């Protein structure tokens, strides 16, 4: 993410829809405050588990950019539909399947939208605003300084 612009977040389902569905599966109800934003909803979250990125130099893609689509993520967190992709400048990062278009059997494909894998480092009890959610992660804005990035949904609860 460059300069705090929202131009690189993917065009995905609003946070509100997926969050409510996940809470319903867990047998929980959500009394979220909602605000309309870019076709989605803002939800204010409190960080319940700190998060630190393991990728300080994240992959950033532009719509139509050629990428190599590698292995599917298979970790204990059950984050489905993430693929390790490599850009032409040899940066690697996890990209949601929904934003990749497989081009041929060699694993080459295209980015279907602008995207960055930038994760947001957060501490316990910080407040963030959730903008978009995809595959168990939420694109958030830190209320303290407007820094932006992805945070795992499991690290957050509605404030």
Same domain, 71 and 105: yes
Range of the structural domain that residue 127 is part of: 15-53+118-158
| Last residue of one domain, picked from the residues 116, 132, 150 | 116
Query: Does a structural domain hold residue 2?
Result: no
Domain count, the chain: 2
Same domain, 87 and 128: no
Residue 2 to residue 152: CA distance in whole angstroms: 21
Query: Does a structural domain hold residue 7?
Result: no
* Residues whose CB is less than 8 angstroms from the CB of residue 138 and which lie 6 or more positions away in sequence, other chains included: 15, 19, 45, 130, 131, 132, 150, 151, 152, 153, 156
Q: What is the pLDDT of residues 10-54, one digit of tens each?
A: 544 344 444 444 434 444 333 333 332 344 679 999 999 999 999
Same domain, 99 and 125: no
Q: Which pLDDT value is given to residue 14?
A: 41
Helices (H), the chain: 15-25
Residue 133 to residue 40: CA distance in whole angstroms: 10
Q: What is the pLDDT of residues 108-155, one digit of tens each?
A: 999 999 999 999 999 999 999 999 999 999 999 999 999 999 999 999
Q: Which pLDDT value is given to residue 122?
A: 98
Report the CATH number that the domain containing residue 152 is assigned in CATH: 2.30.30.40
């Amino acid at each position: 993410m460059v300069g705090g612009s929202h131009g690189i977040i993917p065009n995905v389902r609003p946070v509100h829809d997926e969050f409510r569905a996940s809470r319903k599966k867990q047998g929980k109800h959500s009394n979220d405050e909602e605000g309309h934003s870019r076709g989605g909803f803002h939800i204010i979250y409190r960080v319940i588990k700190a998060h630190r990125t393991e990728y300080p130099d994240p992959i950033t893609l532009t719509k139509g950019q050629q990428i190599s689509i590698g292995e599917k993520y298979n970790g204990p967190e059950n984050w489905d539909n993430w693929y390790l992709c490599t850009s032409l400048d040899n940066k690697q990062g996890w990209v949601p399947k929904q934003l990749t278009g497989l081009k041929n059997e060699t694993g080459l494909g295209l980015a279907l939208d602008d995207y960055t894998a930038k994760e947001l480092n957060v501490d316990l009890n910080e407040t963030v605003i959730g903008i978009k959610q995809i595959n168990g992660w939420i694109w958030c804005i830190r209320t303290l300084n407007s820094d932006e990035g992805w945070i795992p949904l499991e690290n957050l609860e509605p404030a």
